[in-house]
Amino acid sequence: MTNYRWEVDTIFSGKDEFKDAIRRYVVHAGRALKFVKNDNHRVRVRCMAGQCKCPWVAYCGYLPSHKIWQLRKIIDTHTCSRQLNIKLMNSKWLSQEIDKSLVDNPNLNVKDIHSKALRKWNTNVSISKARRTKLIASRQLEGDFNEQFKRIYDDGHELLRCNPGSTVKVKVDANNGDPIFQRIYVCLKACKDRFINCRPIICLDGCFLKGQYKGEVVTVVGRDQNEQMLPLAYAVVEVENKDSWTWFLQLLIEDLRGNEVCGRCTWMYDQQKGLVPAIQELLPSAKQRFCMRHLYANFRKRFCGQILKN
C-alpha cells in the first residue's frame, strides 16, 4: 500500500468505498490526510502535514448518469514526512481490522490493540481509542447487549424446546413501561431427574459478572454416587440479598420435589448475603453447614501475617 499510485478516472461503487480506500492509504503510508469536503456529490481530501503546505490532494465526484463515484483529480506528491498520529484511523475502521484477532484471542486487552497498531502500521493509538475499538469489535462479534437482552424470552423458549420438562423463569421490571431484565432461573429436566440418586447434600455459591451490566450468577450443585459434582440449577440475579435468594430457593425447592425432600438435605454455603435468613425461613428444619475452604480463606483474610502465625 505504501507504493500505491492513485489514477484519475478510477471508479468507486460508492462514497464509502472511496473513503475506506483513503483510510487504508493513510494508515499504511502514514499521511496526515483530512476530508476537507464531504457531501452527497463530492469528496475532497488534502494533506494537512507540513503546516498545510503539502501539495497532495484528491477529489472524487458523483456521476448521476451512471450512479457511480469517479476520481476526478489527484496530485500524488508528498513533501511531508511520515506521521505517527493518524486522525483518520478511527475506532470503527480499526475494529474491522482486529475482529479476527479478537476471535482468535477473546482476552485481547486494550494494551494489545495499542501495541498491534504500533507494530503493524507504525501508528500511535490512544488508550481511549483502543478501548472504543475493542467495544465496537466485541459488539460486532457478540451482538449488542441490549439486543441480546431483548431476546431473553427467545432463549428461554429455546431451552424449553430442546429440554422438555425443564424450568425456565424470567423476571423483568416493567414499572417504567418497557420491560427491563432483572432475573432468570434455569433448571434442566435431566438435572432434576438425576437429583433423586444424589447424596443428601446441596451446595450453594455465587459469583460476580464482569460484563457491561454486572449482576451475579448463583448456582447450586449436588454430589452423585461417584462423589462427582452435579449441577442442579443456576440463576442470574441483580444482587445477592434475601429477596433474590428467597426467589431462587423457592423455585429450586419446587423443582427438587418440595420441602419434605429438601428438608432432609444438608445445605452448605459461604455465608452469602441474605442466604442464611432465606434458608431458615423456607427450610427451618434443614441442616446447614459452612464451606471449610471459604472459612479458611475468610480467616486468613481477617487474621493475616504475623497474627495468623501466632
User: In sequence order, what are the beta bridge partners of 170?
Assistant: 184
> Over 90: is that where the pLDDT of 294 sits?
no
More confident residue, 245 or 177: 245
Q: What angle do CA 165, 166, 169 make, to 5 degrees?
A: 130
Supply the pLDDT for residue 309.
Answer: 64
Alpha-carbon span 264 to 99, nearest angstrom: 52
What Å distances lie between residue 30 and 73, 118, 237, 288, CA to CA? 21, 11, 49, 66
Specify the pairing of strand 68-75 against strand 201-208: unpaired
Q: What is the pTM of this model?
A: 0.62
Confidence of residue 3 (pLDDT cuts 50, 70, 90): low
If you average pLDDT over every residue of the chain, what do you get? 87
Alpha-carbon span 280 to 276, nearest angstrom: 6
Q: Where are the domains of the chain?
A: 1-88, 89-142, 149-309
Confidence of residue 308 (pLDDT cuts 50, 70, 90): low
CATH 2.20.25 fits 1-88, yes or no: yes
Supply the pLDDT for residue 137.
Answer: 84
Q: Is the dihedral of CA 153, 158, 164, 166 positive or negative?
A: negative
Amino acid at 238: E
Residue 252 backbone dihedrals phi, psi, to 5 degrees: -65, -45
Question: Per this entry, what is the length of the chain?
Answer: 310
pLDDT digits (tens, 9 = 90+) for 75-88: 998 898 888 888 88
Neighbours of 3 (CB within 10 A): 6
pLDDT digits (tens, 9 = 90+) for 7-64: 999 999 999 999 989 988 988 888 889 999 999 999 999 999 878 889 999 999 999 9
Which are the contacts of 267, defined by CB distance < 8 A and separation ≥ 6?
201, 202, 203, 204, 279, 283, 286, 287, 288, 289
Give the three-class secondary structure for 94.
Answer: helix
Residues 105, 43 contacting (CB under 8 angstroms): no
pLDDT digits (tens, 9 = 90+) for 227-267: 899 999 999 999 999 999 999 999 999 999 889 999 999 99
User: In sequence order, what are the beta bridge partners of 172?
Assistant: 181
Confidence of residue 212 (pLDDT cuts 50, 70, 90): low
Amino acid at 194: R
Give the long-range contacts of residues 147-156, CB within 8 A, separation 24 or more.
Answer: 149/181, 149/213, 152/181, 152/184, 156/184
Residue in 28, 24, 27, 29 with CA at minimum distance from that of residue 12: 24
More confident residue, 19 or 298: 19
H helices then E strands: how many in the chain? 13, 12
Residue percentage of the chain with pLDDT more than 70: 94
Alpha-carbon span 62 to 66, nearest angstrom: 9
What Å distances lie between residue 37 and 30, 47, 60, CA to CA? 21, 13, 10
Residue in 34, 35, 26 with CA at minimum distance from that of residue 2: 26
Alpha-carbon span 288 to 203, nearest angstrom: 10
